[in-house]
């Protein structure tokens, strides 16, 4: 970590970026005159609130919704279906032999730029991810791979340093996405994805939309041997405002919306043209707490925060009653969900006592939150509840990038955040938020106990053994109030009733290669 920069510098930088984003917003509002969807010609328009920062899979963020877009352009060696089973993709078959994992690659597959997909190309992709020098975000996924070699034109061999229970999981997602070797050299994937996927990028205008055309040379066919993809064109309209998304959906301007808060989607229930699909995705709201400095450095203050929040009240107010309560990121569908772990009871009196005991009455606390409904509502409720404990809380509503900047600087006390769950594996759910120094561990959680447990979780095999470890992890977070978990709104995928053939991944994210419109 760098030495603490001057507070003024940070503030100025933030203000400038806010000024810039306000101007951008003004320009954006001026420029988004009309976007329309012509369903008849096999054109799908998706209302999408989380625009990806980059389309280079090796450098993409941990945001699982990025995968919806990346899956358009890239394929992986294997796919993991909705039940968690591995199915062939660019690799037709694979075998594990001690420390060696061998993939037999599909022949006759070409990248969007016309070059052939072969073992050399796969080696180039995996070597790039394994390279610690280039700063990619997926290196940890292949940490246990020692060597990648081409053992023939279509045979790929991975030599492992030790068994890795989640290597195939990782290879089935961003870390294993295959891009054309020439674009790897040009380092141009962030704006120009060149993979083997079902669609090719046609245009991408930041804050507006992304248009993709069907890849006529796509290697996959459906069960009847018909060519895929079936859609001719897919457009992602980048809109963050939920009520705009809802309005666009009911007006038929978009055919599908990634996610909407309950108070918006409940308004669509009567609409016969719209259908809901609960893919098991929950949005897990939590409070990230800065335990390195400020009020919440004190464990008693963290406990007070956990006791002060009325999780059910927040769920009623911010999710119109469509929510679950869970003691951690885990949902009740997860195999590592442990129902013996208690959710803290709402106890404002005890919270106030704790604040008094700690001598923190009247101390100021800032709560950061993203400017996207209903998040500010949640922050305001937390603020009101904290004020009742004797603290003096304020809410700062920020654009997402400024919010992350400020959290990365450690310049906050608490932040209302949300992630999509389930993730592919509990290690991906917990590690980025809890391991000492991990990218999303903004609050500075640093516990040897947690680090050891989480390392153990990626080492041992067997679901029940791992489940035990992860329930230890969840107990530890709860006991130390490292994070405060709020409610988990249900997040059904909402789309036009005529849209068929959506394929879901194990993490509830979707693929469009088999999608089509029933006319």
Q: Name the residues that contact another protein, by CB under 8 A.
A: 11, 14-16, 18-19, 21-23, 26, 242-243, 263-264, 267, 310, 312-314, 316-317, 371, 373-374, 376-377, 379-381, 383-385, 387, 394-397
Question: Which residues partner with 183 through β-bridges?
Answer: none
Judged by CB, which is closer to another protein: 308, or 428? 308
Q: What are φ and ψ of residue 187, in 5° steps?
A: 55, 45
Helices and strands in the chain, H and E counts: 15, 24
Minimum distance, C-beta of residue 164 to another protein, in the bound complex (Å)? 45
Judged by CB, which is closer to another protein: 385, or 513? 385
Judged by CB, which is closer to another protein: 1, or 29? 29
Residue 233: how many CB atoms within 10 A of its CB? 18
CA distance 428 to 141: 10
Judged by CB, which is closer to another protein: 377, or 446? 377
CA distance 405 to 14: 8
Minimum distance, C-beta of residue 341 to another protein, in the bound complex (Å)? 24
Minimum distance, C-beta of residue 317 to another protein, in the bound complex (Å)? 5
CA distance 485 to 306: 8
Q: Provide the token pair at 368.
A: 């950061």
Does residue 304 contact residue 389 with C-beta atoms inside 8 Å?
yes
Q: Provide the token pair at 272.
A: 């016969």
Minimum distance, C-beta of residue 49 to another protein, in the bound complex (Å)? 15
Task: Using DSSP, state whether 116 is helix, strand or coil.
Answer: strand
CA distance 57 to 173: 9
Q: Provide the token pair at 435.
A: 């391991």
Judged by CB, which is closer to another protein: 62, or 397? 397
Minimum distance, C-beta of residue 45 to another protein, in the bound complex (Å)? 23
Minimum distance, C-beta of residue 315 to another protein, in the bound complex (Å)? 9
Q: Give the residue among 193, 118, 184 at the shortest CA–CA distance from 156.
A: 118
Minimum distance, C-beta of residue 396 to another protein, in the bound complex (Å)? 8
Total number of residues shown for the chain: 519
Minimum distance, C-beta of residue 22 to another protein, in the bound complex (Å)? 4
Q: What are φ and ψ of residue 472, in 5° steps?
A: -60, -45
Minimum distance, C-beta of residue 38 to another protein, in the bound complex (Å)? 29
Judged by CB, which is closer to another protein: 80, or 402? 402
Judged by CB, which is closer to another protein: 310, or 363? 310
SS (H, E, C) 418-441: EEEECCCCHHHHHHHHHCCCCCCC
Judged by CB, which is closer to another protein: 396, or 456? 396
CA distance 463 to 310: 33
> Does an H or E element contain 22, and which?
helix 7-31
Judged by CB, which is closer to another protein: 15, or 205? 15
> Does an H or E element contain 476, and which?
helix 463-480
């Amino acid at each position: 970590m760098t030495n603490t920069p001057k507070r003024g510098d940070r503030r100025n930088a933030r203000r400038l970026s806010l000024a810039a984003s306000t101007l951008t917003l003004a320009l954006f509002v001026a420029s988004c005159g009309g976007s329309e969807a012509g369903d008849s010609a096999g054109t799908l328009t998706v209302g999408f609130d989380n625009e990806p920062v980059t389309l280079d899979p090796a450098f993409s963020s941990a945001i699982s919704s990025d995968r919806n877009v990346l899956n358009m352009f890239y394929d992986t060696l294997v796919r993991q279906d909705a039940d968690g089973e591995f199915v062939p993709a660019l690799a037709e078959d694979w075998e594990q032999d001690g420390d060696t994992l061998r993939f037999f690659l599909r022949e006759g597959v070409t990248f969007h730029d016309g070059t052939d997909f072969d073992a050399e190309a796969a080696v180039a992709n995996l070597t790039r991810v394994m390279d610690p020098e280039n700063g990619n975000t997926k290196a940890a996924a292949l940490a246990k791979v020692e060597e990648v070699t081409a053992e023939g034109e279509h045979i790929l061999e991975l030599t492992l340093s030790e068994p890795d229970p989640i290597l195939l999981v990782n290879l089935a997602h961003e870390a294993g996405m295959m891009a054309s070797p020439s674009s790897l050299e040009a380092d141009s994937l962030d704006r120009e994805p060149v993979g083997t996927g079902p669609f090719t990028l046609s245009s991408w205008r930041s804050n507006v939309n992304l248009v993709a055309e069907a890849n006529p040379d796509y290697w996959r066919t459906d069960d009847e041997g018909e060519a895929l993809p079936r859609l001719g064109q897919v457009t992602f309209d980048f809109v963050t405002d939920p009520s705009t998304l809802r309005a666009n959906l009911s007006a038929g301007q978009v055919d599908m919306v990634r996610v909407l808060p309950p108070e918006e989607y409940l308004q669509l229930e009567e609409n016969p043209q719209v259908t809901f699909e609960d893919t098991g995705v929950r949005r897990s709201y939590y409070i990230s707490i800065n335990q390195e400095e400020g009020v919440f450095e004190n464990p008693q203050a963290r406990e007070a925060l956990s006791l002060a929040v009325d999780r059910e009240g927040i769920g009623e107010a911010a999710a119109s009653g469509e929510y679950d309560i869970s003691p951690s990121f885990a949902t009740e569908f997860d195999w590592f969900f442990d129902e013996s772990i208690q959710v803290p009871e709402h106890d404002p009196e005890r919270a106030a006592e704790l604040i008094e005991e700690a001598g923190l009455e009247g101390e100021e606390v800032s709560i950061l939150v993203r400017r996207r409904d209903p998040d500010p509502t949640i922050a305001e409720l937390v603020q009101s509840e904290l004020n009742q404990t004797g603290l003096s809380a304020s809410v700062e509503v920020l654009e997402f990038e400024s919010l992350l900047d400020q959290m990365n600087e450690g310049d906050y006390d608490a932040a209302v955040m949300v992630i999509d769950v389930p993730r592919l594996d509990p290690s991906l759910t917990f590690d980025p938020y809890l391991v000492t120094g991990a990218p999303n561990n903004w609050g500075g959680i640093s516990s040897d106990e947690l680090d050891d447990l989480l390392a153990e979780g990626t080492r041992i095999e067997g679901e029940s053994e791992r489940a035990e470890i992860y329930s230890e992890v969840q107990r530890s977070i709860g006991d130390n109030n490292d994070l405060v978990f709020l409610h988990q709104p249900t997040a059904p995928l909402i789309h036009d009733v005529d849209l068929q053939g959506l394929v879901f991944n194990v993490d509830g994210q979707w693929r469009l290669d088999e999608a089509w419109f029933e006319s």
